[in-house]
Structure 1
Amino acid sequence: MRGEPLPKHRLRLAFGLFLLAPLVGEFLLGNQPVTQLPGLVLFAPLYGGGALLIREAARRAGRGWPTMIVLAAAYALVEEGPVDQMLWNPHYGGFDIGAAYAATHVPLLGTSVQLLQDVLAMHTVWSVCVPIALVETFARDRTRPWLGGVGLAVTALVFGAGAVFLGYAQAESEHFVASAGQFAGAGAAIVALIALAFAVGRRPGPRRDAPAPAPAAVGLAAFAVSSAYWARDLLPDEAVPAWVLVGTWCVLAAGAVVLFGRWARGRGWDARHRLALAGGALLTYAWVGFEHGWDMGVPHTLSVSGNVLFAGGALLLLALAARTVRRRAAARPRRGVPATAR
């Protein structure tokens, strides 16, 4: 059906994002075994509600990816700061995180720089941006909001309730509560990032005359860059000094922003490129999930079965998204240069 998207279509997209965010952020990554799938009802309000609020806030304001990326970074601090307090709890989840990240601990921050980098990378890229990009592939107009005022209010309430519930549950189970100063510092950083998000997304970047690379090249580059980040886990313990890894992360992150931002302003950048960029990062989580399978606390055969299920689901989603992009490209002639950074 042509014309404006139907309300049901937009609601399906919103619900899809609500479920996809925790499926990618927890299950595809290998943080949760397949036996914990019923726990999706606990993860979805925080992950899915957060991703949906970020997407709707940016699109309602007429903003695009720069705004969503910075808002995703703010979400990362919300989840791992005030909600579950992993940034400050040295024994989070029964693991000696304090010792693992001790080499880059900065007393003034109250946390480790390397841990902060990991939190920002995982949630900004995979918990929020990749799911948004994938689900928007199926939208007839990806810049249009999916929720009305009531839907947005309900989503905000669900997200808030999920954050409060998980925050309380974590504090009770971990027997840990951060200091008032740590909460205040995280709150200030979150507010600053939200303000920055709407400042940087005010005007789209200038377009370039150079053509964008082939979508396959974009996907391979996304897979290579994101895999290079996770390849650190394959290094022997203390093989590379922690502060060298911190510096490498900064170079890798800055390089990715510059490279993909430059390509996105190139002539011909379109839905195929956006899908390839998100798909390359998604496939990285697929292989990382198998590596994490050894630490799930369930029989390895069961963990691998779950990895196969979630990785297969990721491949199926990419195939469906690619088919959607091809069909739409074939259904209408190309006219001019499509919008880029939005």
Structure 2
Amino acid sequence: MSNRSPVAAPADGNRKAAWTLVVLAPVSAEATFSGVTMPAMWLLLPALVVMYGAGVLFLRELVVRFGGGWPSLLVMGLVYELVEDGLGLQALTSPNLYHAAEWGPRILGFNTVYWESQIGYHTVFSVLIPVLLADLLFPSHRGRPYLRRGGLATAAVAAVIGVVLLRLFIPATQDPGYQTPLSVVLAILIAITALLVIALRVLPGWNPPAAPAGRTPHRVVVAVVAGVAAACFLGLLMPLGLPPDHLPDGPAVGSGGWVAIPMIVAAAIAATAGWLVYRWSATAGWSDQHWIWLAGGALIGRTLFAVVTAPAANDYDWGSAGLAIAIGIVMIAAMAYLLSRLNQRIQSPQKRSVTT
């Protein structure tokens, strides 16, 4: 995916690529993380396909049609997070859902720590990584639409239905009676509109400054950095005990005003990781294999975090913790195997068209 002029949908499109992305989005976002600590998530996975799959596909198609690249898709990750957590789950402002109000300070009614954690999480694991993997799996359609106009409209309708279903089934049962204030809803809608303008009108014509020349890191280094960054980001912000029966009752690190320190550190980790990827991907030796190791490191590091913290998250109920650990190990092995197969499938070590 790269910045270019608006692209019209080809007559044939690529339904296989579209359906692959529809599946990759919920698997990357939920199955390989929440599905470890909450096995019941696997039963909900088909329903999540509607929101995650159709939503991410729709955003990806908009970016491609307007000639945007990865910067535009990054902003679209913020749009996705606001729609899911702000309008669907209402968790950004709810004082009850997931005990998010107890993760850290509430400012103007917003659960700040929860918001920061979900911005980073959904941008990377719900949007960027699934689109990256789809690009790698279908290189001939990088930067090209997967859908024709009818398919785009269907994806948009499905995404809206997914958000409505999310609103009806989760907040209605786990947070009954709460309704996001109308003023907050309007503010979120204004923010979404502004972000869409930035992603689809401003960034497609923006030429980012050239990254400083540097040396291409080894693929193992890329994977380790991605994995450590993902695990540390989550560990600083997301309290243990996300399964429904073991909800967190306080922040992950610190208390009171001191929670600002892990929030700042987590933001610095995210910014540093993004800057490294920006620099590394501009080097002459960067290849599609590096992208695979980058995505794999982040995915495995995030799932490993769930495995390592499973005992504490389950209040040391070793039956539940053992199940979570077993599922997590299977998920890590499956991801490593599939990503290694994708790595073998890509023959040329030369840098391809996946650029930042």
1:66 Cα deviation (Å)?
A: 0.7
Does the residue aligned with 2:138 lie in a helix, a strand or coil?
coil
Please say which of residues 208-217 and 181-190 is displaced more in the overlay.
208-217
Deviations 1:225-277 (A, max 9, x none): 22221232589752792011121122222222222212222223331222222
In structure 2, the CA distance between the partners of 1:115 and 1:225, relative to structure 1 (3 Å rule), is: same
TM normalised by structure 2 equals: 0.82
Structure 1 residue identity aligned to 2:25 = A
Paired with 1:202 and 1:280, the residues of 2 have a C-alpha distance of: 31
The equivalent of 1:238 in structure 2 is 254
1:191 Cα deviation (Å)?
A: 1.5
- Contact 2:34 2:41 survives alignment (8 Å): no
Q: Structure 1: give runs of 5+ residues left out of the alignment.
A: none
Does the residue aligned with 1:241 lie in a helix, a strand or coil?
helix
- Pair 1:151 & 2:168 matched: no
The equivalent of 1:251 in structure 2 is 268
In structure 2, the CA distance between the partners of 1:106 and 1:35, relative to structure 1 (3 Å rule), is: closer
1:84 Cα deviation (Å)?
A: 0.6
- Contact 2:100 2:111 survives alignment (8 Å): no
Aligned pairs for 1:103-114 within 5 A: 104-107=105-108, 110-114=109-113
Structure 2 residue identity aligned to 1:321 = L
The equivalent of 2:333 in structure 1 is 312
- Contact 2:288 2:354 survives alignment (8 Å): no
Please say which of residues 122-131 and 229-238 is displaced more in the overlay.
229-238
Deviations 1:137-192 (A, max 9, x none): 11132222211112211111111111112112234212111110111111122222
The Cα RMSD (Å) is 2.7
Aligned pairs for 1:1-342 within 5 A: 10-31=14-35, 33-92=38-97, 95-101=98-104, 104-107=105-108, 110-141=109-140, 142-173=142-173, 174-175=175-176, 176-198=178-200, 199-207=202-210, 209-232=213-236, 238=254, 241-291=258-308, 293-294=310-311, 295=313, 299-325=320-346, 327=347, 329=348, 334=350, 338-339=352-353, 341-342=355-356
Paired with 2:169 and 2:83, the residues of 1 have a C-alpha distance of: 16
1:113 Cα deviation (Å)?
A: 2.2
In structure 2, the CA distance between the partners of 1:214 and 1:149, relative to structure 1 (3 Å rule), is: same
Paired with 1:24 and 1:178, the residues of 2 have a C-alpha distance of: 28
In structure 2, the CA distance between the partners of 1:303 and 1:214, relative to structure 1 (3 Å rule), is: closer
TM normalised by structure 1 equals: 0.85
Paired with 1:114 and 1:133, the residues of 2 have a C-alpha distance of: 27
In structure 2, the CA distance between the partners of 1:279 and 1:201, relative to structure 1 (3 Å rule), is: farther
Identity of aligned pairs, percent? 23
Structure 2 residue identity aligned to 1:134 = L
Structure 2 residue identity aligned to 1:187 = L
In structure 2, the CA distance between the partners of 1:74 and 1:287, relative to structure 1 (3 Å rule), is: same
In structure 2, the CA distance between the partners of 1:201 and 1:272, relative to structure 1 (3 Å rule), is: farther
1:119 Cα deviation (Å)?
A: 1.2
1:287 Cα deviation (Å)?
A: 0.4
Structure 2 residue identity aligned to 1:270 = S
- Contact 2:227 2:302 survives alignment (8 Å): no
Paired with 2:261 and 2:209, the residues of 1 have a C-alpha distance of: 34
Q: Structure 2: give runs of 5+ residues left out of the alignment.
A: 1-9, 241-250
Deviations 1:27-54 (A, max 9, x none): 2113563444231121111111122112
Work out the number of aligned pairs and report it: 324
Please say which of residues 62-71 and 245-254 is displaced more in the overlay.
245-254
1:99 Cα deviation (Å)?
A: 2.4
Please say which of residues 300-309 and 124-133 is displaced more in the overlay.
300-309
Paired with 1:340 and 1:13, the residues of 2 have a C-alpha distance of: 16
Paired with 1:245 and 1:86, the residues of 2 have a C-alpha distance of: 21
- Contact 1:59 1:143 survives alignment (8 Å): yes
Paired with 1:207 and 1:267, the residues of 2 have a C-alpha distance of: 13
Structure 2 residue identity aligned to 1:183 = V
Does the residue aligned with 1:146 lie in a helix, a strand or coil?
coil
